[in-house]
């Protein structure tokens, strides 16, 4: 696909008060509204007015953050997106849900319902959950290891898609004269049996508008990239340098090709967190304001959570020891993708511990860009045209204003350059991403199991 034909995909990654860890303390934000559905509906309308592809909520089944110093806790995202669906018309709706702490049938129902209610705008960000804190919330003695989580995840996605496919598109007849609502020969038990999961089916709802919700994935370890190449239709990732983004992009596209997939149907969307000002100096002053509000206690806890390494014994104003994250691996061969990003920052920039905390405060290892709207647009264009991204997961440092200024000042530049739509050309999230609607895998099956 030529650059002239390609169009950017842009999502708004909604992190309640903003992606900077001290956003809730800044007067530009309203943390009092983080449990107010109208707050999120307003944000979604801003994204939709800018013709963004989707909004996205991360989630996890445990309280991970230091609630004393950070705005921790959140509404359940699928429920929240259902409320947002009623207040919007076109914007895609992506939520995170764990293959470790759900079962395929109930997760399939949640996302199929969202896809029906939104008329085809749902996306599922597939995660295996990376924190041990979740296990105790589900009565488990421990969190499964990395390999077991991905083995279960593969079975989980296979079973879930089979459930979504178990009603063929033309199963519902509504023949009032004959008294036939649906054709049972077009509704199938899936009888899925794996090492981790067993699901009989069939599903108890008809096929949703998109065929099934868009499959999104965010893991970048070896297992994560292999999983993405096999299943993901959009990938959220974190890179600091263009070269790292290019290496990841080429690797995942090649993996998709090896699975017999069209690499153009795998959208790679790195995170970008823009501090915007009319001048670069204004943007840097704004970033400094946010950094000055950070709590070292919170930042240290977050760093230890990301890296699994103890850092509290280190001097905040001394350089981070070069070998502290020496076992991180690299961007194309590692099991600890976020640790690799942090190790790269330490190696290239030789920051003090306080400086590293400030670097990570902006977006937890995603790329922070500080500058004018033109400078931010230039960065987006460079990564898009130089083989590092199909678009971006936009992570404003503060909400709602950070998204508003991006929509008002950066999006028009991208539109003027012919890189981003000026109007929606379709109604579903698949339309926005340029993805095909999948056929039911049972559509041509002759031996259907009658109910």
Reduce the DSSP state of residue 350 to 3 states and report it.
Answer: coil
Question: What is the structure's pLDDT at 327?
Answer: 59
Rounded mean pLDDT for each run of 10 residues along the chain, 451 residues in total: 74 96 95 97 98 96 83 93 98 97 97 98 94 89 90 97 98 98 97 97 97 92 90 95 96 96 97 98 96 90 78 90 66 55 84 89 87 98 98 97 98 98 98 97 63 44
Question: What is the structure's pLDDT at 310?
Answer: 80
Question: Measured on CA atoms in the order 144, 228, 116, 43, is the torsion positive or negative?
Answer: positive
Question: What is the structure's pLDDT at 334?
Answer: 44
Alpha helices in 166-208 (DSSP H): none
Question: What is the structure's pLDDT at 335?
Answer: 43
Q: Which helix (H) or strand (E) holds 194?
A: none
Preceding peptide of 268 cis, ω within 30°: no
The one-character DSSP state at 410 is I
Question: What is the structure's pLDDT at 445?
Answer: 46
Question: What is the structure's pLDDT at 329?
Answer: 53
Contact 94, 216 (CB under 8 A): yes
Question: What is the structure's pLDDT at 349?
Answer: 86
**Cα–Cα distance for residue pair 164/167, rounded to 1 Å:** 7
Report yes or no on whether pTM surpasses 0.85.
yes
Question: What is the structure's pLDDT at 338?
Answer: 65
Q: Are strands 180-182 and 172-175 parallel, antiparallel or unpaired?
A: antiparallel
Question: What is the structure's pLDDT at 146?
Answer: 86
Look at the block and give the residue holding tokens 């946010």. 290
């Amino acid at each position: 696909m030529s650059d002239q034909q390609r169009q950017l995909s842009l999502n708004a990654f909604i992190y309640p008060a903003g992606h900077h860890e001290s956003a809730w303390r800044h007067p530009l934000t309203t943390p009092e509204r983080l449990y107010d559905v109208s707050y999120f509906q307003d944000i979604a309308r801003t994204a939709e007015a800018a013709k963004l592809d989707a909004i996205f909520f991360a989630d996890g089944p445990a309280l991970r953050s230091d609630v004393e110093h950070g705005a921790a806790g959140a509404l359940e995202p699928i429920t929240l997106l259902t409320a947002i669906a009623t207040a919007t018309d076109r914007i895609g709706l992506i939520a995170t849900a764990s293959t470790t702490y759900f079962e395929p049938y109930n997760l399939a129902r949640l996302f199929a319902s969202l896809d029906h209610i939104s008329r085809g705008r749902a996306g599922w960000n597939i995660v295996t959950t990376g924190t041990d804190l979740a296990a105790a919330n589900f009565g488990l003695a421990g969190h499964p290891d990395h390999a077991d989580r991905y083995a279960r995840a593969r079975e989980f996605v296979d079973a879930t898609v089979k459930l979504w496919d178990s009603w063929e598109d033309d199963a519902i007849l509504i023949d009032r004269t004959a008294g036939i609502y649906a054709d049972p020969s077009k509704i199938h038990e899936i009888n899925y049996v794996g090492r981790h999961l067993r699901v009989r089916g069939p599903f108890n709802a008809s096929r949703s508008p998109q065929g099934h919700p868009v499959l999104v994935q965010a893991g970048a370890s070896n297992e994560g990239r292999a999983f993405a190449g096999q299943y993901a239709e959009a990938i959220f990732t974190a890179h600091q340098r263009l070269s790292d983004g290019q290496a990841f992009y080429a690797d995942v596209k090649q993996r998709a090709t090896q699975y017999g997939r069209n690499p153009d149907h795998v959208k790679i969307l790195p995170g970008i967190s823009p501090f915007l000002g009319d001048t670069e100096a204004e943007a840097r002053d704004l970033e400094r304001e946010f950094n000055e509000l950070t709590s070292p206690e919170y930042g240290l806890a977050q760093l230890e959570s990301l890296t699994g390494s103890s850092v509290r014994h280190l001097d905040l104003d001394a350089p981070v020891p070069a070998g502290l994250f020496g076992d991180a691996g690299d961007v194309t061969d590692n099991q600890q993708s976020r640790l690799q990003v942090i190790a790269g920052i330490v190696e290239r920039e030789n920051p003090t511990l306080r400086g590293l905390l400030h670097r990570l405060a902006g977006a937890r290892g995603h790329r922070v860009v500080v500058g004018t709207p033109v400078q931010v647009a230039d960065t987006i264009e460079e990564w898009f045209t130089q083989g590092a991204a199909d678009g971006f997961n936009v992570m404003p440092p503060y909400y709602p204003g950070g998204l508003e200024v991006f929509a008002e000042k950066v999006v028009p530049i991208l539109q003027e350059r012919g890189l981003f739509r000026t109007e929606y050309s379709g109604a579903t999230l698949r339309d926005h991403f340029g993805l095909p609607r999948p056929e039911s895998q049972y559509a041509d099956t002759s031996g259907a199991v009658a109910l």
